[in-house]
Amino acid sequence: MYKTNIFKNIALKVLSLSRQKKQIIAMLFDFIALTTAFLISWRLTNHRLALETSLLFAFLLLTNYLATLFLFHRFSVYKTVVRYLDLTVLTSIFASLFVGSLMFYLILYYFNIARPLALSIIFLASSLLIISGTRLVVRALLRYIHPSNLKRVLIYGAGSAGRQLSAALKRGNEYSPIAFMDDDLSLQGTKIEGLTVYSVAEIKSQITSLRVDVILLAMPRNSSQKQRVLVTELESLQVEVKSLPSFADLVSGKAKIDELRDVQIEDLLGRDAVFANPDLLTQCIIHKNVLVTGAGGSIGSELCRQIIQLSPKTLILFDVSEFNLYQIEQELLQQQSDTKIFAVLGSIQNKSRLLSTLTSFKVETVYHAAAYKHVPMVEQNTIEGVRNNIFGSLNTAQAAIEAGVEVFVLISTDKAVRPTNTMGATKRVAELILQGLNSQNHSTKFCMVRFGNVLGSSGSVVPLFHRQIREGGPITVTDPKIIRYFMTIPEAALLVIQAGSMANGGDVFVLDMGEPVLIHDLAKRMIELSGLEEKTEENPDGDIEIIFTGLRPGEKLYEELLIGENNVTSTQHPRIMSAQESFMKWEELHQLLGQLDIACSDRNASKIRQLLINAPIDFRPISSNSDHLENHH
């Protein structure tokens, strides 16, 4: 034990040296190793070291060492951290020594030294064994000195991505690959990179004996549907599951092979990438002046990211939040683009600010994403919700008409269909405003795009669940029966842009959201994919409990995308439908807006609610008036 501690102390002192000093030590060691290899080859071939041969020996040793030193530097052998020594470095060492041995042979042959081939072969074998072998021994000792709590990793996918991942993880200090798992029958039972390849069935029976901590999915080319099936199959193993970035991100350089991520909710939805129609994408954007309201928000910022890729002449970012506006402006300025970017601070409740912005930049296309969207927040702040979502939309639309905007796209929501909360009701009235204005005599084409929840947006349930799992629970679900449609933010933005290009005036476009998701099931699956167990009465020793908190003010169990059942027609895009829905005449709507304006000025939230209930929008609130200010009079 005492000797072991002495050895550790010496090793730690060497490790604490600067990199330059460690490289000098390595060079000195390699000189000793080459000298030893020379002596071994000289001795085994029965050569003697007379005076004349000693001079030749010194000449051979010096030239060979200088050549090897040059090649080691050329192949970055001395730059390699010994702890992360791999096959690539060992190959470089072999190549360098082989060239040195070849030069050794040519000099021996030139000086007519007996048995030059045998000398060279023995020298190559000896030097390779000493230099490579010693480095491997040092690597093993270093790992012994610095034992780390590496997570034992099973890699799903023994293809090229899996092999690259295994090599990358072995160089790191967080994961230790222990085996592969693959569906390919020809690979099962074989060894790759020294690791056994198992079938899925074998892993299920041996997951405990292998002591697997994490399963890493190394199949970046898989379709979303196949990924979903695979993730579902692994859920029952109660092991943390992570995956590689997508193949597109790897190829583009946005991500590296060892940048692992948690299995995303997108992997559970199982939808493949949205089809992009190039004509629809560029029609309203390329070489045009485009404005996005709410540019710093979840949807608005993603719209900006995708719009700038489509070469608009000018992109105007309009937002009331200075922080959000600054963030998206700085992000877009980092991109290589000829598009001129202007960040404009302003509120959609200020029509004159909107009009001056639209006219100054000669805006041709508007994407109106600015809105208050959090259901409980708008429920508790009714007046501001109406001012922003209804009158803000009215201001933006009227300013667009006055400025001669060509296309105006409203970002709407499934909560506008038979609304049960104030936020949904305000968005439905905003839809009616656009439909009403469309009937007037002007050149602006209005349309609205209606879709459900977007993943990762502020207030989304998915980041909330991730945070609650990290904190050890519990996960809060409002109701065991609540279901929601989900779509990723990039998916939604891509479809919004394409829908806008199909606008004829007054169109209501509805996005195909796929199958609805039971939120309770989503919570359970996220627990399982984190390698944890749900804590229940049947399993009191579980890790994360799910508790039901009751529906929030204005929240309903399920959302709908259509007001009528048989009023949908297909469009040029398979994921975008056009809904033919009834709307109010402008005269009637104008009267309603006037009454709402008076109620807002009077700070009368109850009156606002009653006006929305009486309006032909099928508003049926499921909670009592919970406006903060009115309830504290």
Residues 141 and 157 in one domain: no
Q: Is residue 317 within 8 Å of 325, Cβ to Cβ? A: yes
C-alpha 20/C-alpha 72 separation (Å) is 15
C-alpha 60/C-alpha 72 separation (Å) is 18
Residues noted as catalytic: 415
Query: What mean pLDDT, rounded, does the chain reach?
Result: 80
> For the segment 534-585, what is each residue's pLDDT rounded down to a tens digit?
888 888 888 888 998 887 765 656 555 554 455 677 778 877 888 877 778 8
Residues 380 and 488 in one domain: yes
Give the whole-number percent of the chain exceeding pLDDT 70: 78
Domain enclosing residue 30, as ranges = 2-145
Q: Which of 105, 128, 145 is the last residue of a domain?
A: 145
Q: Is residue 249 within 8 Å of 205, Cβ to Cβ? A: no
Q: How many domains does the chain have?
A: 3
Q: Which of 92, 117, 145 is the last residue of a domain?
A: 145
Residues 115 and 239 in one domain: no
> For the segment 465-504, what is each residue's pLDDT rounded down to a tens digit?
888 888 888 899 888 888 777 777 888 888 889 988 888 8
132 membership: H or E segment, kind and range = helix 116-145
- Considering only residues 175 and 180, tell me which one the structure prediction assigns the higher pLDDT: 180
Q: What is the pLDDT of residue 320?
A: 96
C-alpha 212/C-alpha 197 separation (Å) is 14
> For the segment 406-457, what is each residue's pLDDT rounded down to a tens digit?
999 999 988 888 888 999 999 999 999 999 998 888 999 999 998 776 665 5
> For the segment 571-624, what is each residue's pLDDT rounded down to a tens digit?
788 778 888 777 788 888 999 999 999 999 999 999 999 999 999 888 988 777
When pLDDT is averaged across residues 302-319 and rounded to a whole number, the result is 94
Decide if 626 is inside a domain: no
Residues 427 and 332 in one domain: yes
Q: Which of 252, 269, 286 is the last residue of a domain?
A: 269
448 membership: H or E segment, kind and range = strand 445-451
Paired tokens of 570: 């297909």
Residues 170 and 132 in one domain: no
- Comparing 116-130, 365-379, 505-519, the range with the smallest average pLDDT is 505-519
Residues 341 and 229 in one domain: no
| pLDDT band at 169; cut points 50, 70, 90 | confident
Residues 411 and 544 in one domain: yes
Query: Per-residue pLDDT for 359 more than 70?
Result: yes
Paired tokens of 146: 């610095």
Query: Per-residue pLDDT for 202 more than 90?
Result: no
C-alpha 371/C-alpha 272 separation (Å) is 29
Residues 323 and 469 in one domain: yes
Sequence-ordered list of residues with C-beta below 8 angstroms from that of 631, at least 6 positions apart, any chain: 625
Decide if 620 is inside a domain: no
Q: What is the pLDDT of residue 147?
A: 47
The count of residues in the chain is 633
Decide if 623 is inside a domain: no
Decide if 466 is inside a domain: yes
Q: Give the CATH number, domain containing residue 444.
A: 3.40.50.720
Residues 96 and 210 in one domain: no
When pLDDT is averaged across residues 122-129 and rounded to a whole number, the result is 86
- CA 454 and chain centroid, separation: 14
Residues 378 and 425 in one domain: yes
Decide if 594 is inside a domain: yes
- 243 bridge partner residues: 217, 261
Q: What is the pLDDT of residue 250?
A: 41
Name which of 219, 177, 206, 209 is nearest 194 in CA terms. 177
Q: Is residue 560 within 8 Å of 412, Cβ to Cβ? A: no
> For the segment 242-294, what is each residue's pLDDT rounded down to a tens digit?
776 554 444 344 444 344 555 555 555 555 556 677 888 888 999 999 999 99
Residues 570 and 524 in one domain: yes
| pLDDT band at 137; cut points 50, 70, 90 | confident
C-alpha 545/C-alpha 473 separation (Å) is 6
Query: Per-residue pLDDT for 87 more than 70?
Result: yes
Decide if 630 is inside a domain: no
Q: What is the pLDDT of residue 539?
A: 83
Residues 100 and 238 in one domain: no
C-alpha 294/C-alpha 320 separation (Å) is 7
For residue 327, give the amino acid letter.
Answer: Q
